[in-house]
Amino acid sequence: MLAKANVVASVLLHLFVGVSLPPQAGSQESQPTVRHHRVEENSPADATTPEVDQAETAIAKGDFAAAQALLQKAVAASPEDYRAWFDLGYVYNVNHQAADAIDAYRKSVAARPDVFESNLNLGILLAKQGQNAEAAKYLTAATGLKPTAHPDEGLARAWQSLGHVLEGSDPQQALSAYSQAAKRNPRDAEPHLSAGILLEKQNNLEAAALEYQAAADLDPKSQEAIAGLANIYTREKKYPQAEAALRQLLEVHPSDNNARVQLGRVLAAQGKTEDAARELRAGLHTSPADPQAALELGTLYVNAGKDSEAEQQLRIAVAGMPQSADAHLALGSLLMHEKKYPEAQQELLIAIKLKPDDGQAYGNLAVVASENKDYKLAIRALDARAKYLPETAASYFLRATSYDSLKAVPQAVEYYQRFLAAPDAVKMPDQQWQARHRLVALDPQHRDRYQDTK
């Protein structure tokens, strides 16, 4: 048995173990929800049949059943009455009869193609059904027509709706459509918000930030716009600006727990550990079952050396996010630091199962497996680690001691030698001493090579 085997963990812990803010920082990069417009354009004010006039009176009173009966009678008598079809489409839409509404609007457009409102409403309804290509056809037509009332607002709505349906097929044209919407209605924050979201998806962060800022200037209470700014600044590691945006967001929406968690992360990134912990504790007070906030707070406690508090929070995180590799890795690494090796091994094995390409998890597993005297597992873990991370003096030493414990002398000699030759072995003087003495015992014919010349 190794003379100083108990030094393995004490040295390798600080070389392998690490609990950092998880990459789920992106979990706060929540994409704002784009509001969809209602079909709300009024019927064109052209002369029509008495039934249509009566139906519109019924619509104004909210009597849609009576309106529907009148309009069905009107279109049966006059199939080319575009206004009757328009009103009938509106009634069907109010009654959540999307297919009938689309059919009615189609007939209205077919009877008279140059009406802004019918083209717009048909395009919006088709988009809601996922028929974006056809929706774009009618929305494009609407942008070239004149609304019956409030022309700038109507055209802005048409351009905005067109932008939404073009995002998947032609993002640049979608951005152009949002620009047109903003020109038509310069007081509306939504075109800038939509453009910001799309630009962020394209990783054009600088342009996205400008659009989010424009939206926030127009609507200082816009949760989506301010959150968008905070996300951009966080991704760019502009932490002071991200902090300012998040504090602004929390002033407007103090119950936004996601923003509070992100603020804690941003404060931690700036080294403001106490402030970060305070924000996260406040978030957990608001939402005690928030496992993401517990993971963040636990991470801060780990880095502050508050192991007991950290373990409590990380267990909450694991219980609430059982499929989170980051949560299991954080808890497993902490348990390793606390020398709770059997339980640490279980958590690290789960982390690796959930995220098989995490070199750090394999390194930590190698340490705890060695402490649990499962030396074969330790070697397998080191082999897996080597696929993702470079070998170090620490990994060579752990390989050597594992092979030594398994009495695999040639491999033990090889890795003790590699350890001594590694440039960073000078940081591990106790292990250098152990390696030389084990080499003298395992490879006595070359003992002169291993003498400590110091």
Set out the domains of the chain in order of their start, with CATH numbers.
254-322 (1.25.40.10)
Q: How many CB atoms lie within 10 A of CB 399?
A: 26
pLDDT confidence of residue 449: 81
State residue 21's pLDDT score.
39
Note the pTM of the prediction, 2 decimals: 0.68
Is residue 266 within 8 Å of 286, Cβ to Cβ? no
pLDDT given at position 452:
64
Taking the chain (454 residues) in runs of 10, the rounded mean pLDDT of each run is: 34 40 36 32 58 92 94 93 94 94 96 95 95 96 93 95 96 97 96 97 96 96 93 94 94 87 90 89 77 89 91 95 96 97 98 96 97 97 97 96 97 96 94 94 86 60
pLDDT at 282: 84
At residue 367, the pLDDT reads 97
- Predicted confidence at residue 6, as pLDDT, reads 33
Q: What pLDDT score was predicted for residue 4? A: 30
- 426-431 long-range contacts, CB within 8 A, separation 24+: 427/393, 428/11, 428/393, 428/394, 428/397, 430/4, 430/7, 430/11, 431/7, 431/11, 431/393, 431/397
pLDDT of residue 409: 96
Q: What is the pLDDT of residue 47?
A: 55
**DSSP percent split of the chain into helix, strand, coil, nearest 5:** 75, 0, 25
Look at residue 190 in the predicted model and tell me its pLDDT: 96
